[in-house]
Amino acid sequence: RINPMRPLTTFVLSLAFCVPSIAIIAPSAKAQENSASIQAIKNERVITVTGRGERSVKTTKARIQLGVTAEGKTAIAVQEEIGRQANRIVSRLQQLGVEKLQTTSIQLNPKYVYENNRQRQDGFTGQTTVSFVVDLDKAGSTLDAAVNSGANQIEQITFIATDAELNAAKQLALQDAVKDAQTQSNTVLGALGFTAKTIKTINVAESAIAYPVSQPRLAAFAKEANSVPILGGDQKVEASVTLQITY
């Protein structure tokens, strides 16, 4: 309750506002350097080029896959005949000292004939094949010996170079690929008025080896074919190198 005779008192509210102080700190030299580096990377210009190289190697060896086939009334009879012939072939090849001799396949299948629009089984057929590597100048005489030992199927003949020769060709092909990539970049940048600076990234693709065209499969290989000369070709080694170059 307010006394009307009492003087009014004036209340003054004092508001204090707290204003935070802001400190402005100049970036350090390291921060300025990092910022400049990031900006330089953003403004970096890069050209990507892929160079290719190729070298040819004279083949000196032949990889041959051959075997024997037989037919018979029973599976056992066919298997025994195949085993007998295969043992003779393998023994002869071992005597000749061929390299990397190995069995590549063995097959035994029912043989069917068609009569009056009906299919009926008429015995079995079997096959076994081996592969080996021989010097190219001995390939013909080795095939003669294999045929004389019972081989009647030539599956494939592939001409190859030695591992050492292929590896040497690979190194040269890589050098050619690098030179090709650099030549491409210099040509393009020069035409545009720019100059190559540094190589940013290098990507070396897996080298590819191209084999000469293989001889086709010869069924029922006859002895008359032994006199045919076996001539090898060149084996190509291809390399690819991709460069990212700044300018």
pLDDT of residue 41: 57
Tens of pLDDT, residues 157-182 = 999 998 899 999 999 999 999 999 99
State the residue for tokens 């102080």: 21
State the residue for tokens 């204090």: 16
pLDDT of residue 206: 85
CB 63 within 8 A of CB 235: no
H/E stretch holding 192: helix 163-192
CB 37 within 8 A of CB 43: no
- pTM: predicted TM-score of the whole model, two decimal places: 0.63
pLDDT of residue 117: 83
CB 143 within 8 A of CB 134: no
Tens of pLDDT, residues 225-241 = 445 577 788 899 999 99
Question: Residue ranges of the chain with pLDDT lower than 50?
Answer: 1-2, 4-19, 22, 24, 36-37, 216-226
61-72 β-sheet, strand order: 99-115, 118-135, 61-72, 153-160, 218-219
Handedness of CA 110, 111, 115, 119 (dihedral sign): positive
Contacts of 131 by beta carbon, 8 Å cutoff, 6+ apart: 63, 64, 65, 66, 100, 101, 102, 104
H/E stretch holding 185: helix 163-192
Handedness of CA 130, 133, 136, 141 (dihedral sign): negative
pLDDT of residue 207: 85
